Amino acid sequence: MQLKRLITFAIIMTSIYACKDDSSAVKEYENEIAEIVEEEKILEFGFDLNNYVVKRDTIKSGDSFGEILERNNVGYPTIFNIAEKAKDTFDIRKLHPGKPYTLLFSKESVNDSLPHPETFIYQPDQEKYVVIKFKDSIHAYTSKKPITYVEKTATGIIESSISKTLEEKGLSQRLAYKMADDIYAWTIDFRRLQKGDRFKVIYTDKYIDDSIYAGVHNVKAAYFEHNGDSLYAFEFETDSVKGIIDYFNEDAKNLRRAFLKAPVQFSRISSRYNLKRRIAVYGYKVRPHKGTDFAAPIGTPIMATANGTVIESTRRGGNGKYVKIRHNDTYTTQYLHMSKRLVKKGDFVKQGDIIGKVGMTGNTGGPHVCYRFWKNGKQVDPFKQKLPEAKPISDSLKVKYLEYIAPIKQRLDNIFFLEAEPINPENTITESPITDIQ
């Protein structure tokens, strides 16, 4: 035993001295160490993708969850077990064509003659994803990608339209929709903007995984000069329990009205409410038109013009496919000739919710939505009604609101209009991003 220890000790000492004597060997060894670089992690869906062989694809028309796994060498009994155990988390029948999915294979399994995945990941939208793991046991869960919000500012001077102005500056058209629909829908007719009108806006852009642009999240404050008027707008939450957010001016007056002016964006009126209308096709007989027609391409979203409950969602005669909404005991609206209805009877909808798509069903000579408006059970012209304003801010909140907007208004006032050059990253103010951990 003692002899063995001596021999082992001698071998170790010989190795040490041999290394000391051979300096070139030491240097070579050090160089090898220096060249070892840790592989950068590629993190997505909570996985380090370097550890897997990744296969990405999209759901094809006619694809099913079972067919996808079967094509990738997962047997039917296993597919059945996965479906059964995952059903409380995700209904595998709800795979939509065009949506992406990812399969993760272990690096060892790809050397097999029939490699099979161990994880299926489905993305119903840009943010959400569903993970179904089935390597050893079956586990399913849903999650969201990290969201980052970046606050920015922009200015613009109208030459022809707000859409054109934003396009020339490389800014999202969503800003135009936000200002036209959410903020100034009741005070500015965006179809009649004038050359020289100008605006300033503080808004927040949304990014997924820090790199995927997901559009404008919200507009914090805006200022619009139109027809000689200076119109301020500030976003403010009036009910934190219900999550009610409205826009108010610098005097705390609500900018919203109870009804939108139009059920479709940036459309034109092709036929107005007219009780004395005569049509050549009918021998110029009086054929009253008790609606307002908004011409728009087929598929254009149709919005509810006010909060209310859907009392009809059906197809009938010359009306084609339509939706009818009761807003209160006084007002009811109807939306005709839809190509598709997106709400059903009994649904509660909010102002601006998409309730259908423009079409040509029923008696119509072209794609449009016929917007009908009832007051106390009688069809009337909505443009001739003095419609009620939205609920004003409460006295108790008014003081809080005025204190809240003071620094925001000062910041808005200190943003200068850029007369000549377009906005670029150098003159777009970007605040510290805030990551929304979900």
Q: Is the pLDDT of residue 422 over 90?
A: no
pTM reported for the whole predicted model: 0.60
Which distant-in-sequence residues (6+ apart) come within 8 Å of 40 by Cβ? 50
What pLDDT, on the 0 to 100 scale, is given for residue 425? 37
Instruction: Give me the mean pLDDT over the 423-430 stretch.
Output: 38
- Is residue 114 within 8 Å of residue 73, measured between CB atoms? yes
- The structure tokens listed for 207 are 């990014």
Separation between Cα atoms, residue 213 and residue 57, nearest integer Å: 21
- Quick one: DSSP state of residue 259? S
The answer to whether domain 148-256+392-436 has CATH 3.40.50.880 is no
Q: Which of 198, 417, 414, 382 is nearest to 306 (CA)?
A: 382
What pLDDT, on the 0 to 100 scale, is given for residue 35? 47
Indicate where the chain has its CATH 2.70.70.10 domain(s).
Answer: 268-384
How far, CA to CA in Å, does 180 sit from each of 219, 224, 260? 12, 11, 10
Q: How far does CA 73 lie from the centroid of its chain?
A: 36
pLDDT tens across 107-154, in order? Answer: 887 777 788 899 999 999 988 999 999 988 899 999 998 899 999 999
Q: Is the pLDDT of residue 39 over 60?
A: no
- Mean pLDDT across the chain, nearest whole number? 81
Question: ∠ CA(49), CA(50), CA(55), 5° rounding?
Answer: 50
- Is residue 214 within 8 Å of residue 207, measured between CB atoms? yes
pLDDT tens across 382-402, in order? Answer: 888 877 777 778 888 999 999
Indicate where the chain has its CATH 3.10.450.350 domain(s).
Answer: 43-144, 148-256+392-436
* Second CATH level (architecture) for the domain 268-384: Distorted Sandwich (2.70)
Q: According to CATH, what is the number of the domain 43-144?
A: 3.10.450.350
- Is residue 232 within 8 Å of residue 252, measured between CB atoms? no
- The structure tokens listed for 234 are 């500030």
Q: Is 111 left (phi over 0), alpha (psi -120 to 50) or beta?
A: alpha
